[in-house]
């Protein structure tokens, strides 16, 4: 019921394609296990990822290249001056592992709100960047640094430090996906063994 109200509200604000994408993502998030229904290790890693995403975005601060990197590109990427790497498809960014880590880390359906602007690539992309809090963004979005951004960070003098943080995010995310796979294997075999013996 709440999901359909959210969808109707989205239809008032957004185009149909974005409303559909938001609804699909919220359903997938709601279907993923909440913090109390994942393994202890998954829950700890999901919280660590949440913290790391915020730390990395604070370290990145106000970068300049992301404001003009999409200028002159074909649609949807070129709809806004900035955020070229946000011009992809929402479902490609929010993989099952990403959605699982967000849910286990505390992201809820109502945190997933799109910007009040034209739909141009990812559902959360707007003219002023991403409408999601750092904690609610996919890990890939936070750790990806394009060549132009890397050049800016190098000139600023903190590329190496940010690379280390992004590496840690990747390692932690990999450990999360492994812990998730182990728990899911245990669930499948628990059912098989419980039902057959
Ligand atoms: S979730 Fe945010 S950061 Fe990631 S692609 Fe979409 S708009 Fe960009």
- The pLDDT tens digits of the residues spanning 48-58 come to 999 999 999 99
Determine the pLDDT at residue 77.
96
Distance, CA 151 to ligand 1 centroid (Å)? 21
Of ligand 1's listed atoms, the one at least distance from the Cα of 126 is: 7
Distance, CA 125 to ligand 1 centroid (Å)? 6
Give the count of domains, the chain: 1
pLDDT at residue 170 tops 70: yes
- The pLDDT tens digits of the residues spanning 63-89 come to 999 999 999 999 999 999 999 999 999
pLDDT-based confidence at 192, cuts 50/70/90? Answer: confident
Predicted TM-score (pTM) of this structure: 0.93
pLDDT at residue 131 tops 90: yes
CB 140 within 8 A of CB 98: yes
CB 38 within 8 A of CB 180: yes
Determine the pLDDT at residue 4.
87
Residue of 122, 133, 135, 149 to mutate, ligand 1, most atoms within 8 A of C-beta: 122
CA of 141: how far to CAs of 17, 58, 131, 189, in Å? 21, 14, 13, 34
- The pLDDT tens digits of the residues spanning 82-123 come to 999 999 999 999 999 999 999 999 999 999 999 999 999 999
Average pLDDT over residues 112-137: 96
Instruction: Please give the share of the chain, as a percent, with pLDDT higher than 70.
Output: 97
Determine the pLDDT at residue 127.
96
Look up the domain containing 106 and give its range: 2-196
Of ligand 1's listed atoms, the one at least distance from the Cα of 122 is: 6
Q: Which two tokens stand for residue 41?
A: 């290790």
Of ligand 1's listed atoms, the one at least distance from the Cα of 94 is: 1
Determine the pLDDT at residue 195.
60
Q: How many CB atoms lie within 10 A of CB 195?
A: 7
Decide: 137 in ligand 1 pocket, CB within 6 A: yes
Using CA atoms of 32, 35, 36, 42 in order, give the dihedral in degrees to the nearest 10. 90
Decide: 132 in ligand 1 pocket, CB within 6 A: yes
Q: What is the DSSP letter of 88?
A: S
Distance, CA 86 to ligand 1 centroid (Å)? 5
């Amino acid at each position: 019921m709440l999901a359909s109200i959210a969808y109707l509200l989205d239809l008032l604000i957004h185009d149909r394609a974005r409303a559909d994408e938001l609804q699909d993502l919220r359903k997938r998030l709601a279907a993923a296990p909440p913090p109390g229904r994942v393994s202890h290790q998954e829950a700890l890693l999901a919280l660590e990822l949440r913290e790391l995403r915020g730390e990395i975005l604070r370290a990145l601060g106000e970068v300049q290249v992301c404001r003009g990197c999409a200028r002159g590109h074909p649609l949807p990427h070129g709809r806004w001056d900035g955020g070229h790497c946000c011009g992809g498809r929402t479902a490609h960014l929010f993989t099952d592992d990403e959605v699982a880590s967000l849910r286990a880390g505390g992201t809820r359906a109502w945190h997933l709100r799109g910007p009040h602007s034209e739909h141009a690539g990812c559902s959360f992309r707007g003219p002023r960047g991403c409408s999601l809090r750092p904690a609610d963004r996919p890990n890939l979005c936070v750790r990806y640094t394009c060549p132009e951004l890397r050049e800016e960070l190098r000139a600023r003098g903190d590329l190496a430090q940010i690379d280390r943080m992004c590496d840690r995010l990747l390692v932690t995310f990999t450990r999360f996906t492994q812990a998730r796979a182990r728990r899911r294997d245990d669930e499948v075999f628990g059912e098989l063994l419980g039902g057959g013996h």
